[in-house]
Amino acid sequence: MPKPTRTQVVIIGAGPSGLLMGQLLYKAGIDTLILERQTGDYVLSRIRAGVLEQVSIDLLDEVGVGKRMHQEGLVHGGFDLLFKGERHRIDMNKLTGGKNVMVYGQTELTLDLMNARKALDLPTVYEAENVQVHEFDTAKPRVTYQQNGIAHSIECDFIAGCDGFHGVCRASVPKDKIREYEKAYPFGWLGVLSDTPPVHHELIYANSTRGFALCSQRSKTRSRYYLQVPLTDKVEQWSDEAFWEELRKRLDPEARAQLVTGPSIEKSIAPLRSFVTEPMRFGRMFLAGDAAHIVPPTGAKGLNLAATDVKYLSTAIIEYYQENSEAGIDHYSERCLRRIWRAERFSWWFTSLMHHFPENGEIGQKFQDAELDYLIHSESGSRTIAENYVGLPMDFGD
């Protein structure tokens, strides 16, 4: 058995949550070790989020990795809702008193965080096998793993479970100590990335009788599109041709005419679910990001919630070391969950409003059309969407 080593915080997972956590703690002089199951290249190959709220932008600036994001990210002050064949703009900027979102791919943000950690020579173990968490309900937690067949054991003060939905941290909590709330949706999103100019300078969220579609982007020359598909569909069934043809059918005539198609550079199907774990603290182990909750991507909230969890958690741990106070740690779950449930509600509501539910029949479609018609014509209705989409503040002040 190799001699155990020690660090202050072991972070499990080098996705956006884990890497941001590492930077926030580094800035406060706290030692971390990150353990990641995959290779760095694999982590960077997962095409996921594209929209950052102001709170996430501010956090990336706070840790000093915002330079490329500000150069290459696209600031959006609105988006279009398309229904009954017509598009209507939600002017987020005007409706929220000047707030915007930033379109910047999760892959780019992860790369920026990865490079920052590498430049500081902070320890990260990629391809860490069989990571296991031990004694996290005591004052001396421990994490074991293997690398290249060699076993390692690390003692620490805290474990940050930033290991995503399929991670080991949540799975290690005794079932009687955790409560899980879950809703699975009866469809998935088929996503395509292509080096083609976006169909529109802002995002288009489309409600069509054929199913939901989303026109997003990564840059002025790279597009990201999604189609609602049955869960039984396999990605191999969808040729590029079939994808573009179906997308065209779900758009309005103007967008249809403007759509530039090309070969896909990534194509995948993601299931949609709402999921929340309560609590998010188990002694000296904390869950953050997708390890603790999942939202359907319609509201673009997943990565943003991950970033704010990590801000709450790093602040609590810094308080513990600098002020010898456990108050932040004690309130971590409660503070996060309040924000999480609000984002979960919005994501569920927006998903329900925009997707096709055949089981709800024609009347279901009529209800959606009527609600959308109300929302775009009522200033308070439009403001409700805008306010939630740009993101709620970290402290609600109420």
Cis peptide bond upstream of 279, omega within 30: yes
57 vs 45: CA distance, rounded Å: 22
Is residue 303 at the binding interface for ligand RFL, with CB under 6 A as the rule? yes
The minimum distance between CB 310 and ligand RFL, in angstroms, equals 8
**Which part of the chain contacts ligand RFL (CB under 6 A), choosing from 63-71, 158-166, 175-183, 384-392?**
158-166
Pure H helices in the chain: 16-27, 40-45, 54-62, 67-72, 92-95, 106-119, 240-250, 253-258, 302-323, 327-354, 361-377, 379-390
Is residue 131 at the binding interface for ligand RFL, with CB under 6 A as the rule? yes
Kindly state the helix (H) or strand (E) to which residue 354 belongs, with its residue range. helix 327-354
- Measured from the CB atom, the residue of 37 and 224 that comes closer to ligand PHB is 224
Determine the distance from the C-alpha atom of residue 363 to the mean position of all C-alpha atoms in its chain, rounded to a whole number.
Answer: 33
Phi, psi of 152 (to 5 degrees): -130, 150
159 vs 133: CA distance, rounded Å: 8
- Measured from the CB atom, the residue of 65 and 162 that comes closer to ligand RFL is 162
Is residue 73 at the binding interface for ligand PHB, with CB under 6 A as the rule? no
Is 76 part of the annotated catalytic residue set? yes
Q: Binding string, 55-94, against ligand RFL, x = CB under 6 A?
A: ----------------------------------------
- Measured from the CB atom, the residue of 169 and 306 that comes closer to ligand PHB is 306
Supply the DSSP symbol for 29. T
Kindly state the helix (H) or strand (E) to which residue 213 belongs, with its residue range. strand 213-217
For the chain, first and last CA: distance in Å?
53
Tokens of 263: 């070969």
Is residue 306 at the binding interface for ligand RFL, with CB under 6 A as the rule? yes
Q: Binding string, 285-314, against ligand PHB, x = CB under 6 A?
A: ------------xx-x--------------
Is residue 112 at the binding interface for ligand RFL, with CB under 6 A as the rule? no
Is residue 43 at the binding interface for ligand RFL, with CB under 6 A as the rule? yes
Q: Exactly one of 112, 157, 202, 290 binds ligand RFL (CB under 6 A); which one?
A: 290
203 vs 103: CA distance, rounded Å: 9
Question: Which chain residues interact with ligand PHB by CB under 6 A?
Answer: 49-51, 203, 214, 216, 224, 297-298, 300
Report, as residue numbers or ranges, the catalytic residues. 76, 205, 297, 301, 389
